[in-house]
Chains A and B, each alone.
Chain A
Amino acid sequence: MTTDHPLIQLTLARLREFIREPEALFWTFIFPIVISVTLAAAFPGESSRPVRVGLVDSAAAEAVRSALAGDDGITIVEIAPDEELGALREGDVHIVVVAGEAPGDPPTYRFDPARDESRLARLAVDAALKRAAGRADPWQAREEPLVVPGSRYIDWLIPGILGMNIMSTGMWGVGFSIAQARLRKLLKLLAASPMRKSQYLLAQMMARLMFLLPEAAVPLGFGALVLGMPIAGSLGSIAAVCLIGALAFTALGLLTASRASTIEAISGILNLAMLPMWVLSGVFFSTANFPEVAQPFIQALPLTALNDALRAVILEGAKLSDIKGELGILGVWAVVPFGVALQLFRWR
């Protein structure tokens, strides 16, 4: 096969268009790093975060203040009585403590028991105040703080960002460029030439898979080298998961672009397809947060399968045989949309 083979020329054309588009490069390579670092800064390791306790100023509040001040795990925030609810709602404080009126009266805690941070804050405040009031601890447990490799939020986050990126690049990269070629009547001109239509579609997929390697290597390398994320699984397994994930999303990109002939239409369809997965598929927070009844749907989404597979391989060192279920789901998402897209595809 010489470089003048149409498949190579078509693939090169797509690759050239991609690397000559600075915005595409930003979204593919820089954005995942920016978002990882930003989120890692916003959510540092759980242990280092003190709970924020709102204290309503009053004569009796002084005793509470001094009782809490000695605890490293507690940050006191002064609030006016009429700001209590607002501060709780905004997340400025996790709990509000109102001191009892007379010395020795028990305090009042105001907090939302549905929020994890608020329950945590209640335990910390309650223990500190009771200790200050003279409660004797029967014993002090010996604490052995352990940092389990791969257990930080950032470690959990990076595979999700990688999965999200594979989805976005696959769907935008393939979907948008095809819709644009149709809009420019370029697809029609190609269809009028002796070009084989299957080679055009194959070239779109090949070009997409070629930028998969740097696209996956950048966030993983950044995570491993700069943020200290452990990579437990083999690089071969990671590559295999990325590849089948990319195929699934390329097929979906092809499907979304099979008819769209305006930029508005393709943007709308792509966002409609991707938005539920951004929220539901465990990119930023675990899918376990959603109710049991929604789980079959969530687990069947391709991004959920990809994220679960990536985390299992990267963080837990899973082998491909351990993630057969996820790979199967991705395989179905690669084959079915591709087949449907070929049926629906319009060249004009």
Chain B
Amino acid sequence: MSTSAVRCERLTKRYGDLTAVDGLSLTVRRGECFGLLGPNGAGKTTTIEILEGLLTPDEGDVEVLGLRWGRDDDALRQRLGIQLQETRLAEKLSVEETLRLFRSFYRRGRTIDELLGIVELEAKRHSWVGKLSGGQRQRLAIACALAGAPDLLFLDEPTTGLDPQSRRQLWGVLERFRADGGTVVLTTHYMDEAEVLCDRVAVVDCGHVIAQGSPQELIAQFGTPKVVTHHGTLEDVFMALTGRHLRDD
């Protein structure tokens, strides 16, 4: 059995003249939390959607949990948990109804009570999704992704737009998922988030990986601050590699 959760080589995806992903290769080990970092338009979302089987690459090779899109789709979908950027769940369904709906798609998985417990939404069980705060909605989205007790969780900018407290709550959810042996692939704009959550990160720019390793390795290699006022951070790494801030928004 393959020890990698995700392995992709020389992925390329073009939209007309634009090459969104340009010969990107990476490997995610089982049980780790892997972060894709990069500015807007770097190709993070395109990459993760190829790994999720939502997009077909023009070139390259993808293997997820030792299985392949186009051949093992049903088996693969049963084992993945997916949260997409900017999905808005139906506002007039309750939290419980939404979870019950997503749970029904999986042959095996967690109970509704377990899911509510994992994301700490027990008190909101009967609330409509439209009445939830941004952080609560995002935790519900993660609970939907966890409904099938996945082996591998894909999260695309899971904490963008959340207040600090909601971000920390969400980190807690991910830490519990990993404690049970789950693998996480996430994209983020936040360097502190990547440093806290990720075992390894890949910095993506212009459609390919420009650096890969643990946050500590990357900081040691690229992150020496030019002015010695603080310790090196991933933000410094990113600046050194791309000449830009990660968050240019």
Contact = CB atoms under 8 A, between A and B. Distances in A.
Interface of A: 4-6, 8-10, 12-13, 16-17, 20-21, 181, 184-186, 188-189, 191-195, 348
A194 B108 CA distance: 12
Given A192-B54, A192-B77, A348-B54, A184 B88 contact: yes
- List the 4 shortest-distance A-B pairs measured between CB atoms, nearest first: A194-B77, A9-B104, A184-B88, A20-B92
A176 to B, nearest CB: 13
B195 interface: no
Per DSSP, chain B at the interface is loop
A189 B82 contact: yes
Nearest to A8: B104
B75 to A, nearest CB: 9
Contact of B84 (A9, A16, A185, A195): A185
A263 B100 CA distance: 28
Contacts of B82: 189, 192-193
Interface size class of B (residues with CB under 8 A): 20 to 34
Nearest to B103: A4
B104 A185 contact: no
A13 B92 CA distance: 9
Given A4-B104, A9-B101, A194-B78, A16 B92 contact: yes
Contacts of B248: none
Contacts of A5: 104
A13 B102 CA distance: 11
B86 interface: yes
Per DSSP, chain A at the interface is helix
Nearest to A9: B104
Interface string B81-125: 010111111101100010011111111000000000000000000
Contacts of B78: 194
Contact of A185 (B74, B77, B88, B101): B88
Contacts of A10: 101, 104
Interface in B36-59: 52-54
B77 A13 contact: no
B87 A13 contact: no
Contact of A17 (B74, B77, B88, B93): B93
Contacts of A186: 87-90
A5 to B, nearest CB: 7
Nearest to A183: B88
B148 interface: yes
Contact of A188 (B84, B90, B102, B144): B84
Name which of A10, A184, A186, A193 has the most chain B CB atoms within 10 A of its CB: A193
A209 to B, nearest CB: 20
18 contacts: A5-B104, A6-B104, A9-B104, A16-B92, A16-B93, A16-B97, A17-B90, A17-B92, A17-B93, A184-B88, A185-B87, A186-B88, A188-B54, A189-B82, A192-B77, A192-B82, A195-B105, A348-B54
